[in-house]
Structure formats: structure tokens, C-alpha cells
A and B are shown apart, each in its own frame.
Chain A
Amino acid sequence: MPRCFGSGGEITYLDWMLSAWGWTLSVSLLALLVALLFGALMGILRTTPHRGLVLLGTAWTELFRNIPLLVQIFLWYHVLPALLPPLRAVPSFLLVVMGLGLFTSARISEQVRAGIQSLSRGQRMAGLALGFTLPQTYRYVLLPVAFRIIIPPLTSESMNIIKNSSVAFAVSISELTMFALQAQEETSRGVEIYLAVTALYFLSAFAINRILHAIEVRVQIPGMIGGSR
């Protein structure tokens, strides 16, 4: 009797698609975490008064945003493990997460920098004049406002990461794009499969959009950019 879900080691195409969706989400969300972490750090460094730190942040950003994503994924998967033997033991899933995460971190770094620099110079001076150290000025004065301002571009970036995760198929992660290419060849039911996969991508990206929108509404400050409603 045909069933939607296989049992006892059998795998149906539906099982396979859901597992592929899981891979897509895992790659995307972990990469987003990496991207936010490194992106925020590098973006902040680029606005500090220390030339060395600015240089580091700028070099990071330019390095990761001037190389095509697909090439970066291949570098992480094929080239780095060849140069650094310990990386060979790392699962390809984590290599892709690093590749996608660091690529996106360059874009987030740029947004964080723009967010901080859009604040008036007086804010920083006021913080320092109050006796805050530089890190405290960032923590209590600059970042809370800057991060609120950049939520809209961060939303786009977070949705992009879901869509960009489709490159992971190129290094044998069995995510949705790979599932679509493979299953449509095996079943000759391309239309149905692409429709289902498209819906899942849409659903995932749209869910991220709604979550970030809720956060945006939640944290808005009346009278600030993006906060007046």
C-alpha cells in the first residue's frame, strides 16, 4: 500500500524533500548566526578611532565581498582542506556554513558600519563626555540605535541567506535545490517538484521576514528612523 512516508528504512520522495528542507534551514540559520556575529564585529571595528582595527574590518569586508559566493564555497570545500589537513575531518556541512556565513558577514558588516555612521557625531562625543569608555559608548549609546535602524536591510540579508544556501548543493549537501535537480530527473515530474520546492523556499524566507518584522515593531522608538508609525 503506497504511503506518504516510508517506514523501516524505506525513503519516499516526501521524506527526502522534508529532510532536504531541514538541511536548507540548518545551513541557513547557522550561517546567519556566523554572519551576524562576524558582520557585527567587523562593522563595529570599522567605525572605531583605531586605524589598525579599521583596516582589519575593511580588509575583511573587501576580501569576502569581492569573491563570488560559489567560488568561496569551493575554496572552503576543496582548497582549504587540501592546504590545512585538520580541516579534512570537518564535515562538509560546517564548511558550507562557514563559507556562506563569512560571505554574508561582509555584507552585514557594511550595513552595521552604515548604521553606526548614520548617527550624529554628537552621540559618540556625548557618551565619551559622560565618562563612558569607548566600549561602553558603543554598548549603551551607539549600538542600540544603530541596530534598530538597520533591521530592514538585515531582514533582506537574512532572507538572502536562505536563498543563497542553494549553492550548498554544489558541494554535496542534500538541500532543496539538489533534491529538486535529482528528484525531477528520477521521477520525470519536474513541474510538481519545482512547485513544492519553490513553496518551501518562499515559506522559509517569508517566515524569517515575519520574525524580523515582529522584532522591528517590538523594539521601535517613536521619532527615530523606521520607528515612527
Chain B
Amino acid sequence: MKTTLTLGLTLAAALALAQPAAANTLDKIKASGSVTMGVRESSGGLSFTVGDGKFAGFHVELCERALHDIQKQLGLAKLEIKYQPVTSQNRIPLMQNGTIDIECGSTTNNLARQKDVAFAVTTYVEEVRVAVKANSGINSLADLNGKTVATTTGTTSVQHLRKHERAHGVDFKEVYGKDHADSFLLLDSGRADAFVMDGQILAGNIAKSKNPADFKFLNEVLSVEPIAIMMRKDDPAFKKAVDDSLKALMKSGEIAKIYDKYFMQPIPPANKPIGLPASEATKAAWANPNDKPMEEYAKK
């Protein structure tokens, strides 16, 4: 009997959690005086942990600025920001069930996700690039014929290469690292001739390597993906508040300074700079703030 009761209570709790949270995040923030920010432990310069439960990064700082503006708008004397680490797998469910109110990591804005969540204006445009050894003699995608290409399991990066290059008669072998560090090790140890991944992840790994001069990027960009701060769907007031704050940063040019802080200056844990200047696509997104999904970028 007791087991049945416990089971029933657990089920009830699970059902309660599954209920969509209150649609109005601003009211929730005002009532509780706190907000929960979803962050990533290692998403390059966008969001990373600095240890001791503290987080930093380009998107984390943008979120903190936006929340500060919201605090002023709501007239709150104090706003507590709780940091909740999330992963690629759980970030959308946690957003939908109200565990996190705003996600400041490295989430690509695409049509599939727009059915479940909302995105702020794009603040960073990721370019999928190819890194090779500088002395490998590989200078373009066509040179990858017969070579081994590494990528990280559970990412879509190599898909672009597969679709495009195989159609043009470039045949290559794919190997998969368990995570980005593993994939980079495949390239570094010569088990792979190239590593296909988000530009900032490649740049970060190269910067941390023993000899960064051993590596170079191919010029081709395989795809571009708008990365944006994520929020719950159907909450226009909260989205407007965040968007307005971001647009102000873009208009004043402040955003470029914040970008510089995380992508060009040394950052923990290695205290080395990623060394990736803002791309033309990123600058274009700042010049004309928009929340277009990835699919619209691919069209051009």
C-alpha cells in the first residue's frame, strides 16, 4: 500500500513538473526576485565555467546585462541570478518545464526548435570550418579526397561536408571523437587529416594545443548557424525586454567590446585567447538585429 502511495505521489510530482510553466516570465521574476539562467560548462567563449559554480562567457555576460535591464524595468531592488548547467540533450525540456528561464549557451536557432522555444535576436553567427595540420598540404576541400576527417559524435558538422563534397566526387573517411577534445586529439596525433567543427571550438582547441602554429583553417565555410539566447515560447513581453536590451548593446557598439573580452583576450581555464575575431556574418547580425532561423541563412 505504501509503495502504491509513493508511486502515486511520484507520478503526481512528475505530472506537475511536466505542466508548462507560467507563460509570463516577467511576472515570475517580479514575484520571486530571482531568475534561473541555463549555462553551458564548455561552449568555448560563449559560455563556460570558471569553477566554483561560477560561469562566464559572451552569452552569459549578454544575459546578465539583459537581466540587469529587466531588473531596472521591474523596479526590483535585488535580483538573484541562479546558474543552472544544461546540456544539448536537456536544455529544451528544462526550458519548457520552467526549470530555466533563459538559456545563455550555444543553441542554434532553427525552425525545428522554434516550434518548442523562442529565440532572442541572433548575437553570434557560428561558421562550420575545417582545421588541418599546417604542413599537411591540404589547402581546399577538394584536397580532402581519400583523407580521414574527424568530427565529434552527436554534432551535425560533418553532415554538411558529406552532403556537399560526396556529391562532387570528393571521397573521405569519417572518424568520430567522443567529445571535442578527443576529436582534436585525432587530428593532433595524425589519426585524422582534418577536423570539421564550429569555428570557435576549432580555434579554442588550437589555441590550447602545444603548438598552435601547427594548425590552420581551410578558407571554405561549410555552413553558418545563428546562435541565440533561448527563452520560453509565447512570452512576447519577456522576449521584447531581452531583445531591447541586446539591440541597445548592438546599437551602441558595446557588444563588440564584450565579444572582444571573451574571444580575443585570454580566458580561463588555459588563460589563452581563442583568437577568433567577429566574422562578417556575426557583424551583419549585430548591424541588422533579427531572429531568423538557420534555414533562412542557408537560402542565400
Tell whether, in the assembled complex, residue A185 and residue B171 are in contact, meaning their CB atoms are under 8 Å apart: no
Which of the four size classes fits the interface of chain A?
Answer: 10 to 19
B window 167-185: CB within 8 A of A = 171, 174-178, 182, 185
Tell whether, in the assembled complex, residue B177 and residue A172 are in contact, meaning their CB atoms are under 8 Å apart: yes
Residue of A nearest to B155 (CB): A185
Q: Which residues of A contact B150 (CB under 8 A)?
A: 172
Q: How many residues of B contact A (CB 8 A)?
A: 19
Tell whether, in the assembled complex, residue A169 and residue B185 are in contact, meaning their CB atoms are under 8 Å apart: no
Tell whether, in the assembled complex, residue B154 and residue A181 are in contact, meaning their CB atoms are under 8 Å apart: yes
Cα distance A2–B159 when bound, in Å?
A: 19
B181 to chain A, nearest CB (A): 11
Residue of B nearest to A177 (CB): B153
Q: Which residues of B contact A188 (CB under 8 A)?
A: 112
* Set A82, A92, A169: member contacting B153, Cβ < 8 A: A169
Residue of B nearest to A70 (CB): B178
B27 to chain A, nearest CB (A): 33
A window 169-192: CB within 8 A of B = 169-172, 174, 178, 181-182, 184-186, 188
Residue of A nearest to B166 (CB): A9
* Set A9, A92, A171, A186: member contacting B156, Cβ < 8 A: A186
29 A-B pairs in the complex with CB atoms less than 8 angstroms apart: A9-B171, A10-B166, A78-B189, A82-B189, A92-B191, A169-B153, A169-B176, A169-B178, A170-B178, A170-B182, A172-B150, A172-B175, A172-B176, A172-B177, A172-B182, A172-B191, A174-B174, A174-B175, A174-B176, A178-B176, A181-B153, A182-B153, A184-B154, A185-B154, A185-B155, A185-B156, A186-B156, A186-B159, A188-B112
**Interface set of A (CB-CB < 8 Å, partner B):** 9-10, 78, 82, 92, 169-172, 174, 178, 181-182, 184-186, 188
Q: Which 8 A-B pairs have the closest CB atoms?
A: A172-B175, A170-B178, A181-B154, A185-B154, A181-B153, A172-B176, A186-B159, A186-B156
